[in-house]
Amino acid sequence: MQFEVGSIVEGKVTSITNFGAFVELPENATGMVHISEVASTYVREIREFLTEGQTVKVKVINIAPDGKIALSIKKAAEAPARRQPRQPAPVSHRPGDFEWRPTKNASSDFEDMMSKFKATSDEKISDLKRSHDGRYGGFSRGRGNRGNQDL
C-alpha cells in the first residue's frame, strides 16, 4: 500500500516517547505522531492520551524524501466533521424596540430637532451657570472687595 499525504489509515501505537508516538501502519510501515498532533488541546503528558498497543486512526500529513511518515491523530478526527459555513445573523430593520416612522418632510423635521436641541442645550448651560455662581459666589457677590474692609 502506497501512502499518500491526506489519506487516513488505522495503525497501532508501538512506542511512546516524550516528543510523540510511533505508529505501525499497514505493510510494516512506521510513522510518527508528534506530541502537537495528538489532540486539539495542549498535551503536556502524551501518556494521558495514548497507550502502547492502542489502535488509532491517523492522517498522513507529510512524507519526507527519506521515507519518514508524519502522522496526525487530531487531523484524522477533524476530517469527517467538516465545518459548516456560518450562517449570517438575520438582518433586522428595527434595532431595539424603536418604531421607525416614515417622514413626509425630512428637512423640516431636522430643523425642528435642531431647534429643540439648541433650546435644551441653552437651558442646561444657564442652569449650570446659576448652580456654579451659587456655589462659588459668582462675580456679582463682591468677592473682589475684601481688601477694602477698613473703610
Q: What is the pLDDT of residues 17-52, one digit of tens each?
A: 999 999 999 888 899 999 999 988 888 999 999 999
Which pLDDT does position 130 carry in this prediction? 82
Helix (H) or strand (E) holding 128: helix 106-136
Q: Could you tell me which residues are beta bridge partners of residue 58? A: 9
Q: Are residues 68 and 114 in the same domain?
A: no
Let me know if residue 29 belongs to a domain.
yes
Domain count, the chain: 2
pLDDT at 99: 61
Residues 72 and 121 in one domain: no
**Are residues 69 and 115 both part of a single domain?**
no
Inside any domain, residue 95: no
C-alpha cell at 80: 469527517
The grid cell for 58 is: 491517523
Boundary (domain end) residue, out of 78, 96, 124: 78
Please check whether residue 42 lies inside any domain of the structure.
yes
pLDDT in tens, 72-128: 999 888 755 455 565 665 555 555 555 656 556 666 688 888 889 999 989 988 888
Phi-psi region of 138 (alpha: psi -120 to 50; beta: other; left: phi over 0): left
pLDDT on residue 139: 58
As given in the structure block, the three cell numbers for residue 68 are 519518514
Confirm whether 53 is domain-assigned: yes
User: What's this model's pTM, rounded to 2 decimal places?
Assistant: 0.50
**Residue 150 domain-assigned?**
no
Cell digits of residue 150: 477698613
Looking at residue 24, what is its pLDDT? 92
What pLDDT score was predicted for residue 11? 92
Q: Which one is predicted more confidently, 131 or 137?
A: 131
Structural domain of residue 31, as residue ranges? 8-78
Mean pLDDT of 124-133: 83
